[in-house]
Amino acid sequence: MTLRSFWLLGLLIALSACGGGDRDEGRGDPPVVVGGTVTQAEFVSEIEAVGTAFANEQTVITSPVTERIERIAYVDGATVRRGAVIARLSSGEESADLSSVVARAREAGKQLDRLTELQERGFATNSSVDQQTALRDTARADANAIRSRISDRVIRAPFDGVLSLRTVSPGTVVTSGSPIATISDISAIKLDFTVPENFLSALKPGQVIEAKTAAYPNQSFFGTIDNISPLVDPLSRSLTVRAKLPNDGRKLRPGMLMSVRIVSETRTGLAVPETALVAQGDQNFVFVVDKEGIARRTAIDIGLRSKGMVEVKSGISLGAKIVADGTVKVRDDSPVKAVLPGKKSKEVSADNALKKSDEKGSSGS
């Protein structure tokens, strides 16, 4: 046999050895995966939005007349009660006019009393008494009108609230309609936010909401839905919802940006771990392991997600055995070795103990 023949024979033997190794690999053990079962879990349907805080009541207090400010009766950011004096405008002329008219009304009243006595004695006519009565009533009406003008020059709080920072000073001449202060009732906060129209059926007045703000990241503020706008924005297809939050601690301020969370529904349903889910396009699958240990890819319809679990609406039944983790190693209609969580470590420990026992036996022999 020539050298070339020996070389070809050796090459054939090597190739046959490699082919035998490949066939041995193809007959390897089934992949080990984490097994599990279809269970039941509680799922919460939530609506999330972002809203703006508004005062429960807020208005700009303005001057009803053009006049000079005589006195400012509050400090910056003061909390006042309804009817408290905010500022006084000059009313010297009106006070003088009032004194004159009051004196005239008093004199007219005395004249009327004398005419009434004379009428009873037959020395005064009815027309003279009526005329004097009209003079007295006119003087009283003039006095009331002046008192009203004086009252307009005393600016009072229309409701309980917190006053803004001062922007005017005593001695300033303000015109009719000029702002004196802004008062806000922040004992409660109105929170306005928008939600898509498809959530309309999940909202109702009185429903509890949870709100948070960046100013207090670790604190939640709870309130209830007060009203829902009857109109849907035709451009954004959304509607405005107004909630009311108690604000006893005065932590919330008008203008704050707040995130809103609303629990619209809580239900219990079938659940599988998110790691068991295999998504392909718009379809979702899980591997169901039958009694023979064969993994079958099964299509399912999913719903909500919560705490690492996925709601299963249809496709599998309660208690079915599935591949909970390790789906990348599984092929459809192929055998798998599903190990329940917590048991894998025990099996590995047992294998290690068996190996050590074998090693001791070999060394002893």
The continuous run of DSSP H or E covering 112 comes out as helix 92-121
Is 233 domain-assigned?
Answer: yes
215 & 145 share domain: no
pLDDT at 246: 96
284 & 327 share domain: yes
| Residue 364: pLDDT over 60 | no
In whole angstroms, what is the distance from residue 42 CA to residue 333 CA? 32
pLDDT digits (tens, 9 = 90+) for 90-149: 998 889 899 999 999 999 999 999 999 888 888 888 898 899 999 999 999 999 999 999
Is 354 domain-assigned?
Answer: no
338 & 307 share domain: yes
pLDDT at 24: 40
Rounded to 5 degrees, φ, ψ at 269 are -150, 175
255 & 283 share domain: no
pLDDT digits (tens, 9 = 90+) for 44-79: 888 999 999 999 999 999 999 999 999 999 999 999
353 falls in which pLDDT band (50, 70, 90)?
Answer: very low
Is 81 domain-assigned?
Answer: no
pLDDT at 43: 86
pLDDT digits (tens, 9 = 90+) for 181-204: 999 999 999 999 999 998 898 899
241: exposed, middle or buried (C-beta count within 10 Å: 0-12, 13-18, 19+)?
A: buried
Mean per-residue pLDDT, 243-267 = 92
Is 349 domain-assigned?
Answer: no
CATH of the domain at 144: 1.10.287
Q: Which of 209, 231, 266 is the last residue of a domain?
A: 266
Q: Which of 240, 266, 292 is the last residue of a domain?
A: 266
Q: Could you tell me the CA-to-CA distances from 74 to 66, 77, 162 in Å, in that order? A: 21, 8, 11
The model carries a pTM of 0.66
| Residue 358: pLDDT over 70 | no
| Residue 9: pLDDT over 70 | no
| Mean pLDDT of all residues belonging to the chain | 85
Structural domains of the chain, count: 3
| Residue 257: pLDDT over 90 | yes
pLDDT at 10: 54
Pairing of strands 309-314, 321-325: unpaired
320 & 277 share domain: yes
272 & 228 share domain: no
Parent domain of 205: 48-55+186-266
pLDDT at 251: 94
Q: Which of 152, 171, 202 is the last residue of a domain?
A: 152
Is 72 domain-assigned?
Answer: no
303 & 255 share domain: no
In whole angstroms, what is the distance from residue 156 CA to residue 82 CA? 8
Is 67 domain-assigned?
Answer: no
| Residue 16: pLDDT over 50 | no
4 falls in which pLDDT band (50, 70, 90)?
Answer: low
pLDDT digits (tens, 9 = 90+) for 199-247: 898 899 999 999 999 999 999 999 999 999 999 999 999 999 999 999 9
310 & 247 share domain: no
pLDDT at 186: 95
pLDDT digits (tens, 9 = 90+) for 331-348: 999 998 888 876 544 444
Q: Percent of the chain, pLDDT > 70?
A: 86
pLDDT digits (tens, 9 = 90+) for 275-326: 999 998 889 999 999 988 899 999 999 988 888 889 999 999 999 999 999 8
Is 251 domain-assigned?
Answer: yes
274 & 336 share domain: yes
285 & 252 share domain: no
CATH of the domain at 226: 2.40.30.170
Is 16 domain-assigned?
Answer: no
pLDDT at 343: 55
258 & 190 share domain: yes
Distance between alpha carbon 305 and the CA centroid of its chain, in Å? Answer: 20
Measured torsion, CA atoms of residues 322, 324, 328, 332, in degrees rounded to the nearest 10: 0
